[in-house]
Amino acid sequence: MRFSQPRSIAAVFLSLTIVGCAWFAPTGQPLPVVFFAEDSTTLDESAQSVIVSAAVLARRYPLQPVRVLSFASPGGTSAANQALAENRARAVADALIAAGVAVDRVRMEPRGEVSYTQTPTESRRVEIRIGT
């Protein structure tokens, strides 16, 4: 009987952890996305707004990692597009950190060029994923 309480506490903790992570799964929750102009790493007003909102959300869940996935449109060379994706990731990561997200939580994942379905703007983006 002595060990039943710690097992119960562990079960409750595990349940809360799973519920906390499930909130971040793609279940209709909008993904914070920053879009860029062609060949640009400049964060415009719209980008700053998205980053501030993402930082508020990240601070609400301080134990969750923050992934910064960046992409570039397929025009140009693969090397140039990879560098552009890296610089976009750095710009967004730096802005998240400046907005109060702990540096050790932010992980950059530049992906380079990706194709798009309708407009090149779809490819020129950085996705901010919290907890996934």
Enclosing H/E stretch for 72: strand 66-72
* Residue 19 predicted with pLDDT over 90: no
Q: What is the CATH number of domain 26-130?
A: 3.30.1330.60
* Residue 25 predicted with pLDDT over 50: no
What CA dihedral angle connects 41, 121, 74 and 113, to 10 degrees? 60
User: Taking the chain, what is the end-to-end CA distance rounded to the nearest angstrom?
Assistant: 38
pLDDT tens, 65-103? 999 999 999 988 999 999 999 999 999 999 999 999 999
Q: Mention every residue, 6+ apart, whose C-beta is less than 8 A from residue 91.
A: 41, 42, 43, 126
* Residue 17 predicted with pLDDT over 60: no
Check residue 84 and give its pLDDT.
95
Check residue 86 and give its pLDDT.
97
Mean pLDDT is lowest, of 5-19, 20-34, 76-90, for 5-19
Check residue 9 and give its pLDDT.
35
Mean pLDDT on 2-22: 35
Check residue 29 and give its pLDDT.
61
Q: Domain residues of the chain, as ranges?
A: 26-130
pLDDT tens, 35-74? 999 999 999 999 999 999 999 999 999 999 999 999 999 9
pTM, 2 dp? 0.76
